[in-house]
A and B are shown apart, each in its own frame.
Chain A
Amino acid sequence: MKNNNDNQLFWVLVVRVLDGYASDEETRTFRELLLSDGEFMDNYMHLKNNWDNLKQLEDFEKVDLEKKWEKVSSRIAGSQSGAGSRSASISINDRKKPLIYRVLPYAAVVTLLVAVSALLVWYVTTPSLTEGHYTRVEAPVGSKAIIDLPDGSNVSLNAGSTLIYSDAFNVENRQIVLEGEAFFEIAEKDLPFIVTAHEIRIKALGTSFNLKAYSDDDYIEATLVTGLLLIERADEEGPYFEDIILEPNQKATFFREEERVSLVEEEARIEDPIVADVVSRPIVGVEVARKLDITPEIGWKDGVIFVESEPLHKLARRLERLYNVSFVFKDKELKSYRYSGRLRELTLEQVLQAMKLTSPIDYSIEDQVVTIRENPLTRYKYLEYY
């Protein structure tokens, strides 16, 4: 365990070493520091790798964005006047318009935000999280919550989900961290509304959207109902994926690196679903579904669960959160049985009973633990059909 002095020493020496001012003795000390702690080594390697990039920022520095904007905007001033009448007919859902024409409006919203606020890279300037006060809203497993945020935005929080925002919310920024699933209806304001959920960050304005980002799921899903979403990486060092602009009735799915869960962690997850995963899981794939019927994605907030050819182990996770239980599978192959249907305001017993009637499974409930096993009585009946 490294102490504070070592830490200070590291940050002093790293500058000298990288800039080439370090004496022989300092270099030796620095080397020992690196070997003493993996984090020092990580930091050093990261900085060293970026050192040359920094040199190359000279050209970025030279660009005078404001001045050049004046130049360009004065050149387009002539053609701007016609814009008003034409855009009267724009609808964001009009698929026949050229793409750029559809993209420009979305971008606009973000613009206001970006232009007005100086918070684009907010986490750099945000004081460390030990400072200031944070509000944490939780919908425990087994219940949902509806939250009116200070800025007038409205959030439905699904079971087993948590929302965190700081005192600066609605004053300096509109930044929120989500773990779990929530449906957002964002109030229109100049400050950008930014949601960070694990590996992704979403910028939104005048928008309603659903974000599903449970740490124990292998994916993160963002579904847009109205407005515009800009989705980017929350972790600059994570694997690259292009920023995504989401249009209404589209859903972006981010596939996360497979979780390597040990048995101990698996047990911990049952004990406390939120504690189990703190580790970032890099996004390994992105998929955007267009022209989607989004009802199944947002049905949960009205108490309807849509199940579409869902394997039992996935469905079980949803039921775990919803009914505050945990599932145990006596026969592993049962996990891959697929179910479809709509569950509307049913008790857990009713859900399980329905499953029992439509597939060769049996269940028992004891102390909030649902045990699923193969049903020998009905197995043959179903085997014939498979």
Chain B
Amino acid sequence: MAGPLISPSAGKESEEYQQFKFLFDEYYRPLSVFAKQYVGDMDTAEEIVQEFFVRLWESRETLNIKVSVKAYFYQSVKNACYNYLNSKHRRMDVDIEMPVTAVEEDVLDRMIEMERKEKLFKAIEKLPDRCKKIFKLSRINQMKHAEIAEKLNISVKTIENQISIALKKLMKLKKFLLVLLLMFLLY
């Protein structure tokens, strides 16, 4: 139960692999959107981020990170984007060993913005299916209510209802803590 995380008896191969997958799951999406801000299109952005993760895995033993891991990820991806834009043949050249000792301010700002959006996105992903579908079409794909009504063969009224359910649930994100604390008083 308690004890070092990596005990000699544990299955190490899969553990290390799982660890890597965790970082991928947490950061791949926001890093890709972040990279797009520099290179302009999503496909290139994603390729750079994939390259980054592959290099990260390969150099996992020798890597020496001097800033926070997360900040390092963002700064490295930004550097990779610049390398890409500056190279003549648009090569995907991710220099993972390039020492990142300081993180640029704009990178930090964007990192915070990406995190906020990623959390919002994850929150939307947790909405009930129908609610999520309608909400995404309306808010993310910017479809008009009438268009959604036609596409899904439902009434505009239903759409409005579902969107307001989604909003209420998303608002809970903000108020949840206070509600829980109030619980202490109700018992």
Contact = CB atoms under 8 A, between A and B. Distances in A.
B173 interface: yes
Contacts of A98: 61-65
A129 B183 contact: yes
A72 B63 contact: no
Contacts of A162: 184
A123 interface: yes
A108 interface: yes
Query: Which of A43, A80, A118, A124 is packed against the most chain B CB atoms within 10 Å?
Result: A124
B167 A245 contact: no
Given A100-B60, A226-B4, A111 B140 contact: no
Given A55-B142, A99-B69, A76 B57 contact: yes
Contact of A15 (B8, B66, B160, B172): B160
Interface string A101-140: 1011111111110110010110111001100001010000
B29 A99 contact: no
Given A14-B164, A98-B62, A164-B183, A21 B145 contact: yes
A54 B65 contact: no
B98 interface: no
B112 A240 contact: yes
B22 A114 contact: yes
Interface in B104-161: 112, 116-124, 126-127, 136, 138-142, 145, 160-161
Contacts of B24: 69, 72
B117 A57 contact: yes
Contacts, number: 265
A39 B18 CA distance: 44
Contacts of B4: 91-93, 226-227, 248
A247 B25 CA distance: 21
A60 B86 CA distance: 26
Contacts of A164: 180, 183-184
The binding surface of chain B is classed by DSSP as: helix
- Interface magnitude class on chain B: 35 or more
A235 B177 contact: yes
B3 A236 contact: no
Interface of A: 11-12, 14-16, 19, 21, 43, 46-47, 50-51, 53-63, 65, 68-69, 71-73, 75-76, 79-81, 83-84, 86-88, 90-93, 98-101, 103-112, 114-115, 118, 120-121, 123-125, 128-129, 134, 136, 152, 162, 164, 177, 179, 185-188, 196, 198-199, 206-208, 215, 225-228, 234-237, 240, 242-243, 245, 248, 274-275, 278, 280
Interface of B: 1-6, 8, 12-13, 15-26, 28-30, 32-33, 36, 42, 46, 50, 53-54, 56-58, 60-66, 68-71, 112, 116-124, 126-127, 136, 138-142, 145, 160-161, 163-164, 167-174, 176-185, 187
